């Protein structure tokens, strides 16, 4: 019977395709609204590049047997501080006018979902392909995130979840996360509501 393994991404083109699709699955309406039609192309390019917040340097993949089953994108407050500028430059380079057109929404999203306090570690996105759900892969990725957070020296781990995603919220609560605050982002006339959920890292 196949087992689940979790490994750091290597930055290959094949992985980049999986990353872009799993990012889409993690927020199927939000990312097209935020980044425009070229959002998957942006994710593929950013994944291969180093030194940005969507780089393979911040990604781990879960494999079920030989197949990619899911992924986790996460990073520390230090990475956020150091790499935010290059991430914005990459967005402008790849998305062009689409990025400029959506800049107010992007700034709004960054001040809500993207805001990180010192000593925080952030789970940006987590996704599992539909055919591999129900195999506790998501939980395994969340636990790996906690390990990475401790390695970074963070004192707490944080994430944002859409307020209508009741299944995910219930899972995060079981794993020890609590709701700290709410925030909204308006994109193309639609409001997206998020909970910021946090978990202290004992022994950090």
CATH number at residue 125: 3.40.630.30
Contacts of residue 152, Cβ cutoff 8 Å, sequence gap at least 6? 76, 78, 121
- The pLDDT, as a whole number, for residue 101 is 76
Given a cut of 80, whether residue 98 has pLDDT beyond it is no
Residue 140 is assigned to a structural domain of this protein? yes
Given a cut of 70, whether residue 9 has pLDDT beyond it is yes
Three-state SS string across the chain, please? CCCEEEEECCCCHHHHHHHHHHHHHHCCCHHHHHHCCCHHHHHHHHHHCCCCCCCHHHEEEEEECCEEEEEEEEEEHHHHHHHHHHHHHHHHHHHCHHHHHCHHHHHHHHHHCCCCCCCEEEEEEEEECHHHCCCCHHHHHHHHHHHHHHHHCCCEEEEEEECCCHHHHHHHHHCCCEEEEEEEEEECCEEEEEEEEEEECCCC
User: How much is the average pLDDT of 19-26?
Assistant: 97
Question: Do 112 and 183 touch, CB atoms closer than 8 A?
Answer: yes
- The pLDDT, as a whole number, for residue 72 is 98
200 vs 98 pLDDT, higher one: 200
Residue 192 is assigned to a structural domain of this protein? no
47 vs 105 pLDDT, higher one: 47
Q: How many Cα atoms occupy the beta-carbon half-sphere of 62 within 13 Å?
A: 27
Residue 161 is assigned to a structural domain of this protein? no
Q: What Cα–Cα distance (Å) separates residue 14 from each residue in 17, 68, 74?
A: 5, 10, 20
Given a cut of 60, whether residue 135 has pLDDT beyond it is yes
Residue 36 is assigned to a structural domain of this protein? yes
- Mean pLDDT over the full length of the chain: 91
Q: Which domain holds residue 45?
A: 4-155
Specify the number of domains making up the chain. Answer: 1
Residue 169 is assigned to a structural domain of this protein? no
Residue 173 is assigned to a structural domain of this protein? no
Residue 38 is assigned to a structural domain of this protein? yes
Q: What is the pTM of this model?
A: 0.92
Q: What is the pLDDT of residues 42-92, one digit of tens each?
A: 999 999 999 999 999 999 999 999 999 999 999 999 999 999 989 989 998
Categorize the per-residue pLDDT at 16 as very low, low, confident or very high, splitting at 50, 70 and 90.
Answer: very high
Given a cut of 60, whether residue 1 has pLDDT beyond it is no
- The pLDDT, as a whole number, for residue 96 is 86
Categorize the per-residue pLDDT at 31 as very low, low, confident or very high, splitting at 50, 70 and 90.
Answer: confident
154 vs 108 pLDDT, higher one: 154
Residue 60 is assigned to a structural domain of this protein? yes
């Amino acid at each position: 019977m196949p087992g689940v393994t979790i490994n750091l991404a290597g930055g290959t083109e094949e992985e980049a395709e999986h990353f872009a699709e799993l990012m889409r699955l993690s927020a199927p309406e939000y990312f097209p609204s935020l980044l425009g039609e070229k959002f998957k192309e942006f994710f593929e390019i950013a994944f291969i590049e180093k030194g940005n917040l969507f780089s393979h340097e911040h990604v781990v993949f879960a494999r079920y047997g030989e197949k990619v089953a899911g992924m986790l994108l996460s990073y520390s407050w230090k990475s956020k501080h150091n790499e935010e500028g290059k991430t914005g430059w990459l967005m402008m380079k790849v998305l062009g006018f689409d990025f400029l057109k959506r800049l107010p929404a992007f700034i709004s999203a960054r001040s809500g979902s993207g805001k990180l306090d010192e000593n925080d570690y952030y789970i940006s996105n987590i996704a599992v392909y539909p055919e591999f759900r129900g195999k506790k892969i998501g939980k395994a990725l969340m636990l790996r995130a906690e390990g990475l957070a401790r390695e970074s020296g963070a004192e707490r781990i944080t994430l944002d979840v859409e307020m209508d995603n009741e299944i995910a919220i219930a899972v995060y609560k079981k794993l020890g996360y609590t709701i700290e605050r709410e925030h909204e982002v308006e994109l193309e006339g639609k409001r997206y509501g998020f909970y910021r959920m946090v978990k202290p890292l004992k022994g950090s």
